[in-house]
Structure 1
């Protein structure tokens, strides 16, 4: 599982002209799921996302988490995080999980993040052509991969 976490002051997802999810202060999380991902990957990553301390404190140091600032999450599925780019100029996506595996894990991630934060997680629509708008705060962008936990 891979995640790109962007600290934002606002973010939204639009599908076919309709907003499916919108947040103010929080994280825009782009989530890629691969075939080898398990519920253990999901548990580890969800804990890391929720507890990531990348919001500024009173001394302007990154010491506060989402809960500390009352932040929200906009979670977007993004299989292209597993693009293979070594050969040629057209990326391959064979490592990305097919929808029959990815959708349940994506839905479990929504539920897990919601449970950990005790609030609704805003989302896009799995597999849709989404337009993502955001104001990256900082900019702060963190990439995480459950295959590189150490």
Structure 2
């Protein structure tokens, strides 16, 4: 499982002209599920996201977690995080989990974050989405389990 975490001032996702998720201060999470992912990886990354300190304190140091700043989360499924570009000019996505596996795991991941007290907005699994955000910093971190 891979999560590309972007600290943001705001973020939204639009599908077919309709906003399906929108947050202010918090994290935009681009979430990739691979063929071997289980609840163990979900638990690990949900805990990491809850505790990682990426927000600045009064001294300008990254010492605060998303909980400490009352931030929200926008979670967007993104199988392209598992693109293999080693050969040829067209990426292979063989390592990305099939939708029937990935969708329930992505939904479980979102529920795990909600159970930790976060407001979690989402995109629409499998849809063409327009994602807009203001990266804060910029701070962008790849998390893997």
Alignment TM-score, normalising by the size of structure 1: 0.95
Q: Which runs of 5+ in 2 are unaligned?
A: none
- What are the equivalent positions in structure 2 for 1:23-102 lying under 5 Å apart? 23-102=23-102
1:124 aligns with 2:112: no
Partner of 2:138: 139
Shift of 1:144: 1.0
Can you list the C-alpha shifts for 1:93-148, whole angstroms capped at 9, x where unaligned?
A: 000000111011011001000011x14310000000000000000000000110xx
Shift of 1:51: 1.1
1:103 aligns with 2:103: yes
Partner of 1:114: 114
Distance 1:122 1:50 in 2: 16
**Aligned-residue CA RMSD (Å):** 0.6
Can you list the C-alpha shifts for 1:21-67, whole angstroms capped at 9, x where unaligned?
A: 00000000000000100110000001001111100000000000111
CA contact (8 A) 2:82 2:95 kept: yes
Q: Give the secondary structure class of the aligned counterpart of 1:49.
A: helix
Distance 1:120 1:60 in 2: 25
Q: Which runs of 5+ in 1 are unaligned?
A: none
Alignment TM-score, normalising by the size of structure 2: 0.99
CA contact (8 A) 2:73 2:118 kept: no
Distance 2:129 2:37 in 1: 24
Q: Give the secondary structure class of the aligned counterpart of 2:5.
A: strand
Superposition misfits of 4+ residues, deviation over 4 angstroms: none
Equivalences, count: 145
